[in-house]
Amino acid sequence: MALIEDVAALAEEFAVIRRNLHRKPEIGLDTVETVSLIKSKLDEYGIEYEDVGVNSVVAVIRAGDGDRTVAFRVDMDALPMEEENEFEHRSTVEGCMHACGHDGHCASLLAFAAYLSAKRDFNGTVLLLFQSGEEGYEGALRIIEDSFFDRFKVDYMFGYHAWPGLETGRIAVHNGACMSSEDRFQISVTGKSGHASMPHVCNEPFAAVADIIKGLQSIIVRRVPSNERGVVSVTQVHGGSLPNGIPDKVVIHGNVRTCNEKVQDTIEENVDRVVEGAGGMYSVETELNYVRKHPVLVNSVPEIAVSAAERAVGVENVVTDMESSMAAEDYAFFMKYTKGCYVWIGNGLDSPPLHNSRFDYNDEVLPIAVSFFAEVVKELL
Ligand SMILES: [Zn+2]
Ligand SMILES: [Zn+2]
């Protein structure tokens, strides 16, 4: 692997910035200090920027007179959990840590800004989008609602995640679906409460609840083709408070993942069918609230990412046959508006998993990410 020389030279400086970001994690849309650091660095490099969404920022770098625009997006937010690492750069904020590597994503895009501002050897516009609120806070939607795609004509957008379980030095590119959709549902089952000794004068909701849970479990095996992937998980059941009483109402919560929009439709239809069926059978009232939280992240131009990755890390280090992940990523929303590709860059085979209290972004990923981005720019601009 031969990284671009100017990028390799930036690695140590930006690893220091990365560790500083790791020490001061911020949650959700409240990425105030992180954005302030980004802006001060962009000022230093003489790069223009605009606020977008909620505590997100987009840097705009133009060179030549080309009319094509390529965007690169990273996330910045941390997680509300206690860090168990004991290294020097561990979190200084109680109950908050960078357990998903967004500190590294952010530092690498800053390094890319430094690299591009020094070079400006392309023809067109590069946008560097630093996004808040990826971890379930709808940061991407806030940016889209802030007219991002009206303010900027984006021809392509690229992004990456540091990926545990993939060797350092490797880049994985998925042809099509890369990360799954996420849907959440809440089912209310309402009967009639009463004494546990006299169920015949009540209308107890639990029999319907039991059938609903069994019915939900059967959707993947009976309704989804066997070559497709999907998960339906019941995550919470709430109901009842007495040892000798039947409650009025029980509420079930659940979570759905798929890597195919048609399968997503099939699952939603069948959740509805299972709930309606149980309601009719037991004469209880049912109400389903089904929310599509994230779409499937589909890579529309994997071939561009593959050739850039091959130049960045060598053909032998580009992996194109990894299973897509059943975790969701809100970068998926951007792919509804423009072409692009989201890749994984190896955080190491022995890296703790994402969202683990001992996770840490591997600083070796940073120059690889910048080299990959630089190769994309060379190819498209
Ligand atoms: Zn995460
Ligand atoms: Zn993440």
- Domains defined along the chain, listed by start: 5-178+296-380 (3.40.630.10), 181-294 (3.30.70.360)
C-alpha separations of 307 from 117, 183, 326, 380 in Å: 24, 33, 26, 11
pLDDT of residue 335: 97
From the CA of 180, how far away is ligand 2's center (Å)?
A: 13
pLDDT of residue 267: 97
From the CA of 136, how far away is ligand 1's center (Å)?
A: 9
From the CA of 67, how far away is ligand 2's center (Å)?
A: 32
In DSSP notation, 231-298 reads EEEEEEEEE---TTEE-SEEEEEEEEEES-HHHHHHHHHHHHHHHHHHHHHHT-EEEEEEEEEE--EE
Structure-token pair, residue 66:
């080309």
Range 63-85 average pLDDT: 97
User: Could you give phi then psi for residue 165, rounded to 5 degrees?
Assistant: 90, -5
Residue 64: pLDDT over 80: yes
Cα gap 304→341, rounded to integer Å: 8
From the CA of 60, how far away is ligand 1's center (Å)?
A: 26
Task: Report the amino acid identity of residue 302.
Answer: P
Residue 215: pLDDT over 80: yes
Average model confidence (pLDDT) for the chain?
96
From the CA of 111, how far away is ligand 2's center (Å)?
A: 19
The alpha carbon of 150 is separated from its chain's Cα centroid by a whole number of angstroms, namely 23
Would residue 64 be called left, alpha or beta, if left means φ above 0 and alpha means ψ between -120 and 50 degrees?
A: left
pLDDT of residue 6: 81
From the CA of 135, how far away is ligand 1's center (Å)?
A: 6
pLDDT of residue 243: 95
Task: Report the amino acid identity of residue 97.
Answer: M
Q: What percent of the chain has pLDDT over 90?
A: 96
pLDDT class for 271, splitting at 50, 70, 90?
very high
Q: What percent of the chain has pLDDT over 70?
A: 99
Which ligand has its closest atom nearest to the C-alpha of 159?
Answer: 2
Greatest alpha-carbon span in the chain: 82
Residue among 72, 77, 63, 67 nearest 33 (CA): 77
Range 367-379 average pLDDT: 96
Cα gap 41→256, rounded to integer Å: 40
Cα gap 143→51, rounded to integer Å: 9
pLDDT class for 285, splitting at 50, 70, 90?
very high
Residue 278: pLDDT over 80: yes
From the CA of 226, how far away is ligand 2's center (Å)?
A: 29
Question: Which residue has tokens 């996004």?
Answer: 131
How many Cβ atoms from other residues are within 10 Å of residue 1's Cβ?
A: 12
Cα gap 361→168, rounded to integer Å: 11
Cα gap 12→30, rounded to integer Å: 28
pLDDT of residue 1: 62
Q: What is the pLDDT of residues 119-156, one digit of tens each?
A: 889 999 999 999 999 999 999 999 999 999 999 999 99
pLDDT class for 184, splitting at 50, 70, 90?
very high
Cα gap 97→95, rounded to integer Å: 7
* Residues 6 or more apart whose Cβ sits within 8 Å of residue 378: 122, 308, 311
Which ligand has its closest atom nearest to the C-alpha of 331?
Answer: 2
From the CA of 278, how far away is ligand 1's center (Å)?
A: 36
Range 217-231 average pLDDT: 94
Q: Which helix (H) or strand (E) holds 195?
A: strand 194-195
Structure-token pair, residue 164:
């545990």
Residue 3: pLDDT over 80: no
pLDDT of residue 2: 62
Which ligand has its closest atom nearest to the C-alpha of 131?
Answer: 2
Would residue 106 be called left, alpha or beta, if left means φ above 0 and alpha means ψ between -120 and 50 degrees?
A: alpha
From the CA of 100, how far away is ligand 1's center (Å)?
A: 5
pLDDT of residue 181: 97
Cα gap 48→41, rounded to integer Å: 11
User: Could you give phi then psi for residue 42, rounded to 5 degrees?
Assistant: -65, -40
Taken in order 294, 296, 301, 306, the sign of the CA dihedral is positive
From the CA of 327, how far away is ligand 2's center (Å)?
A: 9
Cα gap 168→5, rounded to integer Å: 18
pLDDT of residue 91: 98
Question: Which residue has tokens 């992937």?
Answer: 229
Length of the chain: 381
Cα gap 180→68, rounded to integer Å: 30
From the CA of 355, how far away is ligand 2's center (Å)?
A: 8
Residue 5: pLDDT over 80: no
> Parallel, antiparallel, or unpaired for β 69-75 and 156-164?
parallel
Cα gap 162→129, rounded to integer Å: 17
pLDDT of residue 4: 76
Which residues fall inside 5 Å of ion ligand 1, going by CB? 100
Q: Considering the entire predicted model, what is its pTM?
A: 0.92
